[in-house]
Amino acid sequence: MNDGQEQAILAVHVRGLDGMCVGCRAWWSRLAPYPCWQVDWATSRQARTITTRFLENVR
Ligand SMILES: [Zn+2]
Q: What is the pLDDT of residues 1-38, one digit of tens each?
A: 567 889 999 999 999 999 999 999 999 999 999 999 99
- Asked if residue 20 is part of any domain, the answer here is yes
pTM of the model: 0.75
Residue 43 and residue 10 in contact, taking contact as beta carbons nearer than 8 Å: yes
Contacts of residue 18, Cβ cutoff 8 Å, sequence gap at least 6: none
The Å distance, Cα 12 to ligand 1 centre, comes to 8
The Å distance, Cα 56 to ligand 1 centre, comes to 31
- Asked if residue 59 is part of any domain, the answer here is no
The domain containing residue 24 runs over which residues?
Answer: 3-54
The Å distance, Cα 46 to ligand 1 centre, comes to 16
CA torsion, ordered 38, 44, 2, 23, to nearest 10 deg: 20
Query: What's the number of domains the chain is made of?
Result: 1
Question: What confidence score (pLDDT) does residue 19 get?
Answer: 97
